[in-house]
């Protein structure tokens, strides 16, 4: 059966203005998430290490999507192309989609 990314659970994002990123707490199996960039500019999508440093896994162009394998509790940061944090996602325990928007 083919599943559309849009039909997966929606993952809420957290704006960078809400304070520091949560601590990395990976636990459990791996799964895919789909991120859609609805901002007017490309964004970097980075996994946060246990020491709190972002590791860029890719750039999502305007109107594009990116498929990424992750695990429960992993923290993913979105940033502009200058490295300025825009927000973050913490994925639960299953495949989901996340929409990156302007706030």
CATH number at residue 86: 2.60.40.780
Residue 73 lies in a domain: yes
pLDDT at residue 16, rounded to an integer: 67
pLDDT at residue 52, rounded to an integer: 83
- 48 forms beta bridges with 54
pLDDT at residue 68, rounded to an integer: 95
Residue 4 lies in a domain: no
Q: In terms of residue numbers, what domain contains 94? A: 31-100
Residue 78 lies in a domain: yes
Residue 9 lies in a domain: no
- Domains identified in the chain, total number: 1
Does pTM surpass 0.95? no
Question: Tens place of pLDDT for every residue, the chain, 103 residues?
Answer: 334 555 555 666 666 676 666 656 667 789 999 999 999 999 999 999 888 889 999 999 999 999 999 998 889 999 999 999 999 898 888 888 899 988 6
Residue 51 lies in a domain: yes
Return the structure tokens found at 29: 């199996």
Residue 45 lies in a domain: yes
């Amino acid at each position: 059966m083919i599943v559309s990314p849009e039909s997966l659970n929606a993952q809420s994002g957290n704006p960078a203005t809400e304070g520091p990123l949560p601590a990395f707490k990976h636990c459990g199996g791996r799964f895919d998430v789909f991120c859609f960039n609805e901002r007017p500019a490309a964004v970097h999508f980075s996994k946060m290490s246990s020491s709190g440093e972002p590791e860029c896994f890719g750039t999502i162009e305007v109107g594009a999507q990116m498929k990424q394998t992750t695990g429960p509790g992993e923290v993913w940061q979105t940033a502009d192309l200058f490295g300025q944090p825009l927000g973050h996602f913490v994925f639960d325990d299953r495949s989901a989609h996340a929409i990156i928007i302007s706030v």
